[in-house]
Amino acid sequence: MDQQHEDRAVPADWAALRAAAVEVMGRAYAPYSGYRVGAAALVDDGRTVVGCNVENAAYGVTLCAECGLVSSLHAGGGGRLTHFVCVNGDGAVIMPCGRCRQLLWENGGARLLVETPRGVLTMDQVLPQAFGPEDLDAVGPAAGS
Ligand code: THU
């Protein structure tokens, strides 16, 4: 695995994080696609947060595993994500979908480490030139306001 971006003081235990993702994947509710996903992340205060996908008969209402993870992050006191991994029903590491990369960007930023099928990458490699909170500050007041 490419560890070149593993620059935190304490190297993360990626195997343990993957195991947490596999465990929560087992609780996925995916009766429509049959595609289970589990996600796990470390928070900057040492917590581990997890999520699984939750589908719906109205297919578009489906919640990705990352949605549950981010909800758990905030419900559990907030903080910043530092390390993230998600797995499929075989326990293989997969990439977060495009929408969920945006969720991860918001809650971990450019330096969030993501385990991918190609090794550990930073979030800004996984979502280059991301739109983020600073873009909202980059414009002046709206005309007429
Ligand atoms: N899914 C996730 O939970 N996260 C992703 O990043 C990719 C897709 C789920 C949504 C849906 O329940 C199933 O995988 C098939 O798309």
Contact 105, 41 (CB under 8 A): no
- At 125-145, the pLDDT tens digits run 999 999 999 999 988 777 765
Distances (CA, A) of 50 to 20, 35, 83, 124, 139: 7, 17, 12, 22, 35
CA 79 – CA 116 distance, rounded (Å): 23
Can you give the pLDDT at residue 141? Answer: 74
Model pLDDT, residue 4: 43
Res 70 pLDDT > 90: yes
Atom of ligand 1 nearest to the CA of 65: 3
Q: Is the CB of 127 under 6 A from ligand 1?
A: no
Sequence-distant (6+) residues with CB within 8 A of 94 are 37, 86, 87, 88, 117
**Ligand 1 atom at minimum distance from 55 CA:** 12
Residue having the nearest C-alpha atom to atom 13 of ligand 1: 35
Cut 0.85: pTM above it: yes
* Ligand 1 contacts CB of residue 82 (under 6 A): no
**DSSP label at residue 59:** G
**What's the average model confidence in pLDDT over 52-66?**
98
CB of 68 shorter than 6 A to ligand 1: no
Centroid of ligand 1 to alpha carbon of 120 (angstroms): 20
Give catalytic residue positions: 66
For residues 7-25, give the mean pLDDT.
85
For the chain, what is the mean pLDDT? 93
Would you state the structure tokens that stand for residue 97, as one six-digit string? 């979908």
Is the pLDDT at 105 greater than 50, yes or no?
A: yes
Average pLDDT over residues 112-118: 98
**pLDDT for position 142:** 72
pLDDT digits (tens, 9 = 90+) for 47-56: 999 999 999 9
pLDDT at 5 over 80: no
CA of residue 133 to ligand 1 center, whole Å: 25
* Cα–Cα distance, 41 to 144 (Å, whole number): 44
Indicate if ligand 1 lies below 6 Å from the C-beta of 96: yes
